[in-house]
A and B are shown apart, each in its own frame.
Chain A
Amino acid sequence: MAASLIKDLKSAIGAKYVLHAPEDLLVYEYDATIERGLPEVVVLPETTEEVAAAVRAARRHGVPVTARGSGTGLSGGAIPCEGGIVIVTARMNRILKLDAANRLAAVQPGVINLDISKAAAPHGLYFAPDPSSQKACSIGGNVAQNAGGPHTLRYGSTVNHVLGLEIVTPDGEIVTLGGEALGVPGYDLAGLVVGSEGTLAIVTAVVVRLLPLAPSTITLLAVFDEVRQASEAVSAVIAAGVLPAALEMIDGKTMQAVEPFVNAGYPPDADAALLIEVEGLEEETSEQATAVRATCEASGAREIRVGMSPEEREKLWAGRKGALGALGRLAPSYYILDGVVPRTRLPDVLSGVYEACERYKIPVANVFHAGDGNLHPNLMFDDSVPGESERVLELGEEIMRLCVDAGGSITGEHGVGFEKRNYMSWIFSEDDLAVMGRVKSAFGAGERFNPGKMFPASKGCGEVSSRMKAAITRVGPEAYV
């Protein structure tokens, strides 16, 4: 790393907020995936101008820039797999404006997702996208990955709630996209940048839409003896004309793992449960809850619990929300997959997932957004066993194939990142990818922003992974702490 770059960054951002000692860099080499990559320098800007200055410095010195929010991402999006500068948005954590009358908020990218809803709650409003990591993940990361969550089924993903963005381009210019009012003329570049995984721009402010809190919510837990009954009930609920706010599935393995820690009251012998939430006026939710109950019973549910009060509902959700933490206790490592299938293909694809995991003798727990057809098989393994990580990645690839063969997608909410870039050609043609590449060129991004992400690896990417492995070897096991 050139001393002159460090000097430039320190003068732009302040010496205190430029980290380059090896021990300071270690915490920024990972996110929530199993990949690793060490940055050469980490900066923690406070303002948009400081971000722009860092980007311009990177450009002058010819090093790549990777933006990082809270590091909770699940596709390696924040991992600087070609080194360079990591811009951490943690200090850009101010809610710039909360305009209740117009149901919007302007926030800096480091603001934590849940904090927006907390700030909006006194006004009867909330921010709808609710990824499971919402207590920790940043809105900047949500925008980069177009994050979803359980309530995407009814309310859509992050992109459906972003009105405008302030960005820094790869040239270091500050540009506003979209805005607070509807219908800013021109191409929807804000919509394009959402979900672009930090490859087009660094987002420095976000205008989000806030929704009124629903007057009434009912949560139902339908317990099934067989996974197939539960997955068939998913389509049956939709066919009954009900569009729930959330429709989640929790399989037996997950319930067994969760129950000792959460005491959600999950039956130990059931194979699957559906967590179904309906929102609206009381008249609406009571009618929908009745329809959901009847549909689940017709699909073979052996028991249905209904949560009406916030306490009851929270208890039913506790198992879902605590699932990942509980599963983490079952094995030293786990690998969370993210694939999507058309809803009607869910029963068959889910059977295929269990069959493949059985064949690999790798335990799997499924807890996912069934209403969207968005699968999250969690593969549990021990990464200290030689070759185990490779086998798990191979199994993950096979499961992704199942999703794609069913007419689905390789990611519903976690992003492509580093992990799935070589699967892109399964769902997009060469021409499709070429057009995406051209859009990237339009932003002048080249390989300056988050290199090695989203696009299928070209020549030289083997170098990246060997370099990443080298980084793991070099820093030793403490990097996993």
Chain B
Amino acid sequence: MVSQATLLTELQTIAGAENVRPGSDGFAVDGVTPEAVVRPATAEAAAAVIRHANAEKLAVIPVGGEQRAGPGNVPARYDIALDVSGLSAIVDYEPEDLTITCGAGMTLGALREATAAAGQMVPFDPDISGEATIGGGLAADLWGPSRLSLGGPRDFTIGLRVITGDGLITRAGGRVVKNVAGYDLCKLYVGSLGTLAVITEATFKVLPLPKATRDLAFASASAADACGIANEALMRGLSLRSAAITRADGVWRLAVTLAGSEAAVERSMRELASSAGDKRPETGDRIGLDEGGAIGVRVAVQPSALTSLLESLAADARFVAYPTLGVVRLRLKDESDLPALTAMGGIVEDAPPEVKRRIDVFGPAPSSLPLMRAVKAQLDPNGVLSPGRFVGRL
């Protein structure tokens, strides 16, 4: 390992002096602070940084600006923060093609604004700040409530430009909505948490914005009622964009977003109100998961098993559940419930570094781990990219 001063000098030569800074706590990942932060102006410069790291066996974590608590295990090593926030331009947007191509450093908020201006949207709505970048959202496969009706990042991402662990700039997929040429490596890169490649550019399918949307919340007598109403609404084809269940002061609440034509939304509202026995639903913002505790956990079960899972939660548990997807996201104050939740397949979405150091946030690795390890070895042969952060400490 060279000294920090030498590393900074080398990186300045590669990426330009103005784009290189000493590492700082703002770029720390799970308590590990990098030696250097590079914010390259081009994908080519980013690739040159990775090639350097590959040659010197340095560890690189791609980031989209300063860090917040997030997914992944504590990195085994972390020398260089590769900040892709400079790659934030719209590369191509033809609304009638229903596709958009943009830099990975573009924020979700900027993507929302750009598409809304053309009456369109990308259904990329994780429950996080609009300042988060596309690249980060894709790396973590973050999805939001609209996954129910519109799919997740692996469904709407149709093309990626990435840099492998040995510094090759390569493309996967393309810019057309339907494409089966070659392996769909987009599927691999999305959700790989920066361990296979660094995403520099993404192409998404876009959709027309709905003519009308309405956020409503119904009081429910039980978890079973709330789950039942949501699943029935889905089966009846009501204009359900998303559905979420919470509980506050012992009262179950089903919050839905309806989207579609004005008349279809009106009818959906009437029918939901009637099946919920709640003629005057509250209107309000879409619900999110408030800060109830330091540890975020996500448990995915079958939708039919969700009711009993929700009923088993402590009375003061803070959570939001997606009844048609069979997923519950919880915020825990401490680690006491972690073993039980991870035994059900729960994944720690974020936690303080001292907690993360004691656990594997992904729980037991699936039986396909040897294949995953082989894929990692092929795309990042020297273990340069985000070492130790992924499933099975890949």
A contacts, CB < 8 Å to B: 99, 101-103, 124, 145-146, 148, 152-153, 156-157, 159-160, 169, 175-177, 180-189, 191-192, 194-196, 200, 212-216, 235, 238-239, 241-243, 280-281, 283-284, 287-288, 340-344, 369, 372-374, 407-416, 420, 424, 427-429, 431-436, 438-444, 454
- Is there an interface contact between A280 and B237, defined as CB atoms closer than 8 Å? yes
CA separation between A411 and B390, bound complex, in Å?
A: 33
Q: Report the separation of the CA atoms of residues A184 and B368 in the bound assembly, to the nearest whole angstrom.
A: 11
Residue of B nearest to A177 (CB): B368
Most buried by A among B98, B183, B188, B209: B183
Q: Are the CB atoms of A434 and B302 closer together than 8 Å?
A: no
- Of B13-21, B48-56, B89-97, B351-359, the segment with at least 4 beta carbons within 8 Å of chain A is B89-97
A416, closest chain B residue (CB): B181
What are the residues of chain B within 8 A of A195 when measuring CB–CB?
Answer: 180, 183-184
Q: Is B169 an interface residue when CB atoms closer than 8 A count as contact?
A: yes
Which of A344, A407, A442 meets B378, CB within 8 Å?
A442
Q: Of residues A157, A185, A372, A434, which shows the largest number of chain B Cβ atoms within 10 Å of its Cβ?
A: A185
CA distance A281 to B267 in the complex (A): 9
Chain B residues, CB < 8 A from A413? 178, 180
Closest to B169 in A: A431
Identity of the chain A residue whose Cβ is nearest the Cβ of B171 in the assembled complex: A432
Q: Are B182 and A436 in contact (CB under 8 A)?
A: yes
Given A182-B325, A283-B261, A432-B184 contact (CB < 8 Å)? no
* Least CB distance, B363 to chain A, in whole angstroms: 7
| B183 and A436 contact, CB distance less than 8 A | yes
**Residue pair A435, B185 in contact (C-beta under 8 Å):** yes
Are the C-beta atoms of A192 and B187 separated by less than 8 Å?
A: yes
Contacting residues, chain B, for A102 (C-beta < 8 A): 302-304, 326
Chain A residues whose C-beta falls within 8 Å of the C-beta of B267 in the assembled complex:
281, 283
**Residue among A103, A343, A408, A409 having the largest count of chain B Cβ atoms under 10 Å:** A409
B379 contacts partner chain A, Cβ-Cβ < 8 Å: yes
A-contacting residues, B178-236, CB 8 Å: 178-185, 187-188, 190-192, 196, 207-209, 211, 234-236
A181 to B266, CA, bound (A): 32
Given contacts A160-B151, A407-B176, contact A442 B375 (CB under 8 A): yes
Contact across chains for B181 and A101 when beta carbons are under 8 A apart: no
- Contact partner of A235 (CB less than 8 A), chosen from B96, B180, B211, is B96
Contact A176 B366 (CB under 8 A): yes
| B263 partner residues in chain A, CB cutoff 8 A | 283-284, 287
A212 touches B178 (CB 8 A): no
CB distance from A450 to the nearest CB of B (A): 13
Q: Are B239 and A146 in contact (CB under 8 A)?
A: no
Chain B residues whose CB sits within 8 angstroms of the CB of A180 once the complex forms: 302
Of B119, B178, B179, B374, the most chain A CB neighbours within 10 A belong to: B178
Chain A residues near B368 (CB, 8 Å)?
175-177, 186, 189
Known: A341-B176, A373-B176. A156 touches B151 (CB 8 A): yes
Q: B208, A243: Cβ atoms under 8 Å?
A: yes
**Contact in complex: B168, A185 (CB < 8 Å):** no
Provide the residues of chain A in CB contact with B362, threshold 8 Å: 185-186
Decide yes or no whether B314 CB sits under 8 A from chain A: no
Closest chain A residue, CB of each to CB of B174: A409
Closest-CB distance, A117 to chain B (whole angstroms): 16
Residues of A within 8 A of B178 (CB): 148, 152, 157, 340, 369, 372-374, 409, 412-413
Q: A102-B326, A192-B188, A283-B261 are in contact. Are A415 and B180 (CB under 8 A)?
A: yes
A192 and B191 alpha carbons, distance in the complex (Å): 13
- A342 engages B188 (CB within 8 Å): no
B168: shortest Cβ distance to chain A, in Å? 5
CB distance from B383 to the nearest CB of A (A): 15
A281-B372 contact in complex given A175-B367, A187-B191, C-beta closer than 8 Å: no
Q: Counting CB contacts under 8 A, is B8 at the interface?
A: no
CB neighbours (8 Å) of B377 from chain A are 442
Cβ contact within 8 Å between A189 and B347: no
Asked if B174 and A427 sit within 8 Å, CB to CB, the answer is yes
A181 touches B345 (CB 8 A): yes
Flag if A442 contacts B374 (CB, 8 Å): yes
Taking A181-B300, A342-B175, A412-B176 as contacts, is the C-beta distance between A443 and B181 under 8 angstroms? no
Q: Is B115 an interface residue (CB 8 A)?
A: no
- Give the shortest distance, in Å, between B88 (CB) and chain A (any CB): 22
Q: Is B315 an interface residue (CB 8 A)?
A: no
Is the CB–CB distance between B304 and A281 below 8 Å?
no
Q: In the complex, what's the smallest C-beta–C-beta distance from B21 to chain A, in angstroms? A: 30
A243-B207 in contact (CB<8A): yes
Whether A432 and B211, one on each chain, are in contact in the complex, defined by CB atoms closer than 8 angstroms, is no
- Please indicate the chain B residues that have their CB under 8 angstroms from the CB of A181 in the complex: 300-302, 326, 345
- B260 and A280 contact, CB distance less than 8 A: yes
Classify chain B's interface size.
Answer: 35 or more
Let me know if B168 and A435 touch, CB within 8 A.
Answer: yes
| Contact, CB under 8 Å: B96 / A184 | no
Q: Check B298 against A183 for contact (C-beta < 8 Å).
A: yes
Known: A186-B369, A281-B264. 7 other contacts (CB 8 A): A281-B268, A287-B211, A408-B174, A408-B176, A428-B182, A434-B168, A441-B378
Question: In whole angstroms, how far apart are the Cα atoms of A212 and B184 in the complex?
Answer: 27
Q: How far is the CA of A69 from the CA of B221 in the complex (A)?
A: 50
0/1 interface trace, chain B 95-127, chain A, CB 8 Å (1 if under):
111110000000000000000000100000000
Q: Which residues from chain A contact B371 at a C-beta distance below 8 Å?
A: 169, 175, 189, 442-443
CB distance from B56 to the nearest CB of A (A): 22
Which residues on B sit within 8 Å (CB–CB) of A284? Answer: 239, 260-261, 263-264
A186 touches B177 (CB 8 A): no
- A409's contact among B97, B181, B207, by CB below 8 Å, is which? B181
11 residue pairs bridging A and B, Cβ less than 8 Å apart: A157-B178, A212-B235, A239-B96, A241-B208, A243-B207, A281-B239, A343-B177, A428-B171, A435-B172, A435-B379, A442-B374
Contacts of A194 on B, CB cut-off 8 Å?
A: 184, 187
B155: chain A residues at CB < 8 Å are: 156, 160
**Given A101-B303, A183-B327, also A412-B179 (CB < 8 A):** yes
> Is B170 in the interface zone, CB < 8 Å from A?
yes
Contact at A215–B325, with CB atoms within 8 Å?
no
Chain B: minimal CB distance from A287 (Å): 5
Q: Which chain A residue has the least Cβ–Cβ distance from B347?
A: A185
CB <8 Å contact, A283 and B183: no
Most chain B Cβ neighbours within 10 Å, of A157, A191, A428, A440:
A191
Decide: B154 and A191 in contact? CB cutoff 8 A. Answer: yes
Assembly CA distance A32 to B245 (angstroms) = 49
**Is B385 interfacial (CB-CB < 8 Å)?**
no
Which residue on A lies nearest to B207, using beta carbons? A243
- The reply to whether the CB of B391 lies closer than 8 angstroms to some CB of chain A is yes
Nearest CB of chain B from residue A338's CB, rounded to whole Å: 9
Known: A408-B176, A412-B179. A187 touches B119 (CB 8 A): no
Residue in B95, B207, B237 whose CB lies within 8 Å of A214: B237
Task: Choose among A196, A342, A372, A429 the residue with the greatest number of B CB atoms under 10 Å from its CB.
Answer: A342
Q: Which residues of A contact B164 (CB under 8 A)?
A: 435
Quick check: A238 and B98 within 8 Å, CB to CB? yes
Q: For window 294-329 of chain B, which residues contact chain A by CB distance below 8 Å?
A: 298, 300-304, 325-327
Contacts of A444 in B (CB 8 A): 374
Tell me if B238 is interfacial: C-beta within 8 Å of chain A.
Answer: yes
Q: What are the residues of chain B within 8 A of A145 when measuring CB–CB?
A: 180
Complex Cα–Cα for A434 and B178 (A):
23
Task: Collect the chain B residues with CB atoms within 8 Å of residue A436's CB.
Answer: 182-183, 185
Given the known interface contacts A235-B96, A342-B176, the answer about A439 and B378 at a Cβ–Cβ threshold of 8 Å is yes
Is B303 a contact of A439 with CB atoms below 8 Å? no
Chain B nearest CB: distance from A68 CB in Å?
18
The answer to whether B261 touches A215, judged by C-beta atoms less than 8 angstroms apart, is: no
In the complex, A296 Cα to B268 Cα: how many Å? 29
> Measured between alpha carbons, how far is A438 from B172 in the docked complex, in Å?
14
Q: How far is the CA of A102 from the CA of B266 in the complex (A)?
A: 27
Minimum CB distance partner of B175 in chain A: A407
